[in-house]
Chain A
């Protein structure tokens, strides 16, 4: 092997070591999450709970139920949501060749929010299931709308995607403000908290429902990782390499949008994760998407689970919105990570 090849192999080995370490960090964050909370549960009781988890009998104790039926689904939901948003963010940044892109930039957030508000404000109270469904439909419709509007016979240009995304987003934002302004005051908190991001809807059933979506979405993105590497070169150059550019762009866009839409439907609009975690992951493993995607998924999951532990426990005046904690704690951490890396491109 030549020297550059050797160096590349060495970088690759180091990156995979980082990914294994990140997997360990995610497991640690989940462990921290299931052992922390306002109901006092000892480590022994947590271990006990997990031993009983596989026995098909009713909950051995209230503590066991809190650990397995409340904290564990919430931690798993945090891992899925954080991971999916980060993967989606990686894809959008590659697709748009823009470091400021995130899963919400092209209307997914506005569409999901309108869907959720329709569920909260217009549908009868007590029906909690329709919210995720409405939010997902809203996100999917908005994403599809932006795509159709941006499309021309020659394909989809980045500039038109961003422009249409901004216009559709502004329109949906206006709808959101109208709905909030015209709705009765008692209905507002539910909608506002959802807009700020909320993992409290995590139940084992919902986590189970989400797993196939996240697995399929991240799996397809992983298969597209070489395509995303080439997209970063620009459409012309990517085309020269023989990449079916338009088809790859369409696939990346639809997959990343639906992936974001499916997790947003359950968790609300958790901000910051999908924007910054991809940059943090790039610092750790470089910008090749085969390594970047798994690293971003694990880092995003770890980050969101840890932020949720803080949101649940740190305040003496109840639970904080996790979407605010992510930016509050994440901004300084990622600033440090990114500034440390100033030397590299």
Chain B
């Protein structure tokens, strides 16, 4: 767990004031003044820079940075796992925002050896995303904006959590692939979204983060609601899977497609995803919680 985004210092956003912050590697990043040329090496960090209103400082992003739409028009410096060191250096950044669980360590090290400060953020849950927004805000010289945006997102998430209190909890499955069926298990953002919205992750009995489910696994998991986290446009389950109306979600047509970017990027839009999940769960409750009583297979299922 990387939750120690302890931000130090940073008073006001006065132009001459130095800024500093400790990143997820425990490295203290000090800048004499807020950065004027920023390279972002992950789509979620690009989204955070836009949220903080500092997009005019971005001089390089990855080819996956597509939100907001202006981000796609910024100069590209490669991908997340294959950032192009030479292009990054050529962009003359005074700060690189990077991640520890996507960007290769060696390339970040090269950048640091060339004297470019690199700030690494890898939030692992919603709370850490909010803290990262505050920390990056401090580092970019807009600490108040950072705190304000984080507080607003926290309030939206808390509202969702409050809405689910003492309500029946549906079994929810997040499918990151439909053929084969691959679910989001414990330790994923999608698992946290399900729990925060008041559901039970139907794939939580599996040990891996992304277990592959056979049709029979799916019947045993008995999800009431299924979300498809679509990575490549609209995705559907193949007919030989959906014909199994023993699965409550297929029987009731409770299959919702979400933009995969929303739920796999630890950025501000996780809260938007949370609201969509919450809406679908409210719809299930409004139908009178149809899965209950008939989904006995779910209650008595076993795993070898």
Q: Using a CB–CB distance below 8 Å, which chain A residues touch chain B? A: 37-40, 62, 65-66, 70-71, 125-126, 128, 184-187, 189-190, 193, 198, 200-201, 203, 312-320
Question: Does chain A have a CB within 8 A of B235?
Answer: yes
Q: Which of A40, A70, A190, A316 contacts B177 (CB 8 A)?
A: A190
Q: Which residues of chain B (157-178) have a CB below 8 Å from chain A?
A: 177
Beyond known contacts A40-B300, A312-B216: 15 more, CB 8 A cutoff: A38-B217, A38-B219, A39-B297, A40-B301, A40-B302, A62-B219, A62-B297, A70-B219, A125-B233, A316-B205, A317-B206, A318-B208, A318-B211, A319-B212, A319-B217
Q: Assess whether A312 is in contact with B246, with CB atoms less than 8 Å apart.
A: no
22 pairs, A vs B, C-beta closer than 8 Å = A38-B219, A38-B302, A38-B303, A38-B304, A39-B220, A39-B301, A62-B219, A66-B246, A70-B216, A70-B219, A70-B244, A125-B233, A126-B238, A185-B231, A186-B260, A189-B177, A193-B180, A200-B214, A318-B183, A318-B211, A319-B213, A320-B212
Nearest residue (CB) in A for B240 is A203
A-B CB proximity, top 4 nearest: A186-B231, A317-B208, A318-B211, A186-B232
Q: How far is the CA of A38 from the CA of B219 in the complex (A)?
A: 9
Contact (A185, B180) CB under 8 Å given A39-B219, A312-B216, A319-B213: no
A65 contacts across to B, CB distance below 8 A: 246
Q: How far is the CB of B48 from chain A (nearest CB, A)?
A: 22
Q: How far is the CA of A193 from the CA of B178 in the complex (A)?
A: 12
Question: Does chain A have a CB within 8 A of B15?
Answer: no
A314 contacts across to B, CB distance below 8 A: 304
Q: How far is the CB of B201 from chain A (nearest CB, A)?
A: 14
Nearest residue (CB) in A for B177 is A189
Q: Is the interface of A mostly helix, strand, loop or mixed?
A: loop
Q: How far is the CA of A312 from the CA of B180 in the complex (A)?
A: 13
Nearest residue (CB) in B for A59 is B246
Q: How far is the CB of B100 from chain A (nearest CB, A)?
A: 20
A315 contacts across to B, CB distance below 8 A: 207
Write out, one digit per residue, whether chain B residues 199-239 have a CB within 8 A of any chain A CB (1) or not (0): 00000011110011111110110000000001111111011
Q: How far is the CB of B87 from chain A (nearest CB, A)?
A: 20
Question: Does chain A have a CB within 8 A of B59?
Answer: no
Question: Does chain A have a CB within 8 A of B185?
Answer: yes
Q: How far is the CA of A218 from the CA of B297 in the complex (A)?
A: 41
Q: How far is the CA of A316 from the CA of B206 in the complex (A)?
A: 5
Q: Which of A66, A316, A320 contacts B303 (CB 8 A)?
A: A316
Instruction: Report the interface size for chain B: residues with CB under 8 A from the other chain.
Output: 38
Contact (A186, B304) CB under 8 Å given A65-B246, A317-B208: no
Q: Assess whether B297 is in contact with A125, with CB atoms less than 8 Å apart.
A: no
B244 contacts across to A, CB distance below 8 A: 70
Q: How far is the CA of A65 from the CA of B246 in the complex (A)?
A: 9
Q: How far is the CA of A70 from the CA of B215 in the complex (A)?
A: 8
Contact (A66, B216) CB under 8 Å given A125-B236, A190-B180, A198-B180: yes
Q: Assess whether A185 is in contact with B216, with CB atoms less than 8 Å apart.
A: no
Nearest residue (CB) in B for A189 is B177
Contact (A128, B179) CB under 8 Å given A39-B220, A186-B260: yes
B255 contacts across to A, CB distance below 8 A: none
Write out, one digit per residue, whether chain B residues 239-258 have a CB within 8 A of any chain A CB (1) or not (0): 11000101000000000000
Question: Does chain A have a CB within 8 A of B182?
Answer: yes
Contact (A184, B302) CB under 8 Å given A128-B179, A193-B180: no
Q: How far is the CB of B147 from chain A (nearest CB, A)?
A: 35
Q: How far is the CA of A190 from the CA of B212 in the complex (A)?
A: 11
Nearest residue (CB) in B for A183 is B232
Q: Assess whether A317 is in contact with B185, with CB atoms less than 8 Å apart.
A: yes
Q: Which of B179, B206, B297 contacts A318 (CB 8 A)?
A: B206
A316 contacts across to B, CB distance below 8 A: 205-208, 303-304
Contact (A128, B239) CB under 8 Å given A70-B216, A71-B216, A184-B231: yes
Q: Assess whether B246 is in contact with A186, with CB atoms less than 8 Å apart.
A: no
Nearest residue (CB) in B for A193 is B180
Nearest residue (CB) in A for B220 is A38
Contact (A37, B232) CB under 8 Å given A128-B240, A189-B177, A190-B177: no
B216 contacts across to A, CB distance below 8 A: 37-39, 66, 70-71, 312
Contact (A200, B180) CB under 8 Å given A186-B235, A318-B211, A319-B212: yes
A126 contacts across to B, CB distance below 8 A: 236, 238-239
Q: Assess whether B182 is in contact with A186, with CB atoms less than 8 Å apart.
A: no
Q: How far is the CA of A93 from the CA of B132 in the complex (A)?
A: 61
B214 contacts across to A, CB distance below 8 A: 38, 200, 312, 318-319
Q: How far is the CB of A183 from chain B (nearest CB, A)?
A: 9
Nearest residue (CB) in A for B185 is A317
Q: Assess whether B212 is in contact with A318, with CB atoms less than 8 Å apart.
A: yes
A189 contacts across to B, CB distance below 8 A: 177, 180, 182
Q: How far is the CA of A275 from the CA of B211 in the complex (A)?
A: 30
Q: Assess whether A186 is in contact with B177, with CB atoms less than 8 Å apart.
A: yes
Q: Assess whether A125 is in contact with B234, with CB atoms less than 8 Å apart.
A: yes
B213 contacts across to A, CB distance below 8 A: 318-319
A71 contacts across to B, CB distance below 8 A: 216
Q: How far is the CA of A314 from the CA of B304 in the complex (A)?
A: 7
Q: How far is the CB of A65 from chain B (nearest CB, A)?
A: 7
Q: Assess whether A62 is in contact with B246, with CB atoms less than 8 Å apart.
A: yes
| B205, B216, B232 interface centre (most CB from chain A within 10 Å) | B216
A40 contacts across to B, CB distance below 8 A: 300-302
Write out, one digit per residue, whether chain B residues 270-304 have a CB within 8 A of any chain A CB (1) or not (0): 00000000000000000000000000010011111
B301 contacts across to A, CB distance below 8 A: 38-40
A185 contacts across to B, CB distance below 8 A: 231-232
Nearest residue (CB) in A for B64 is A185
Q: How far is the CB of A267 from chain B (nearest CB, A)?
A: 13
Q: How far is the CA of A287 from the CA of B205 in the complex (A)?
A: 48
B240 contacts across to A, CB distance below 8 A: 128, 201, 203
